[in-house]
């Protein structure tokens, strides 16, 4: 019973910290970053828990196109609890029909689960399925995660 009450307390506390914004997607920068127009101001949003290939990386442009096809020019809802060091909102992006863009990207092999920053236990099984089915970037024999690629390509 104590564990149950503790779990509810954690969940309730987390929900108190969460915020939500709505707007239309005006720009997709890459496979895990977009801008929405909210109250006539652009707001940059980084999809939480995932990391998409960089633009110059294999599948980078393809990943961005996947996200564009899903959200560009459309209304979205962003649920978030924090911003990152660049001032971007870190959130879950939902389309009008309820599709979560973060999950969509992982499920379709357009992004990795970001292991050091993931707090969504439902994402790793989606990645395992995408990998097993060789979807998107998993069609490559040895795909390089973006965090590794960035370290290898520092200037």
Number of H helices, E strands in the chain: 5, 7
Q: What is the DSSP letter of 100?
A: B
Active site residue 46: yes
Active site residue 131: no
- Identify the pLDDT of residue 154: 85
* Domain limits, the chain: 18-152
Read off the pLDDT of residues 83-124 as tens digits, 9 standing for 90 and up.
999 999 999 999 999 999 999 999 999 999 999 999 999 999
Active site residue 35: no
Kindly name the residue from 88, 92, 103, 107 that is annotated as catalytic.
Answer: 88
Give how far Cα 10 sits from Cα of 6, 19, 148, Å.
6, 16, 33
Kindly name the residue from 27, 35, 46, 107 that is annotated as catalytic.
Answer: 46
DSSP run (H or E) holding 67 = helix 60-71
Kindly name the residue from 54, 92, 100, 103 that is annotated as catalytic.
Answer: 54
**Range 18-152 classified under CATH 1.20.1440.230:** no
Q: Are 46 and 33 in contact (CB under 8 A)?
A: yes
């Amino acid at each position: 019973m104590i564990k149950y009450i503790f779990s509810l307390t954690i969940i309730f506390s987390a929900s108190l910290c969460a915020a939500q914004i709505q707007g239309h997607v005006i720009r997709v920068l890459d496979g895990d970053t977009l801008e929405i127009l909210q109250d006539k101001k652009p707001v940059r949003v980084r999809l939480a828990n995932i990391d998409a290939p960089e633009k110059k990386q294999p599948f980078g442009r393809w990943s961005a196109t996947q996200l564009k096809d899903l959200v560009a020019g459309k209304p979205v809802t962003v649920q978030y609890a924090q911003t990152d060091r660049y001032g971007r909102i870190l959130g879950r992006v939902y389309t009008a029909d309820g599709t979560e863009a973060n999950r969509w990207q992982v499920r379709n092999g357009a992004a990795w689960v970001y292991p050091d920053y993931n707090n969504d236990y439902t994402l790793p099984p989606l990645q395992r399925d995408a990998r097993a089915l060789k979807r998107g970037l998993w069609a490559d024999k040895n795909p390089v995660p973006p965090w590794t690629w960035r370290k290898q390509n520092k200037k």
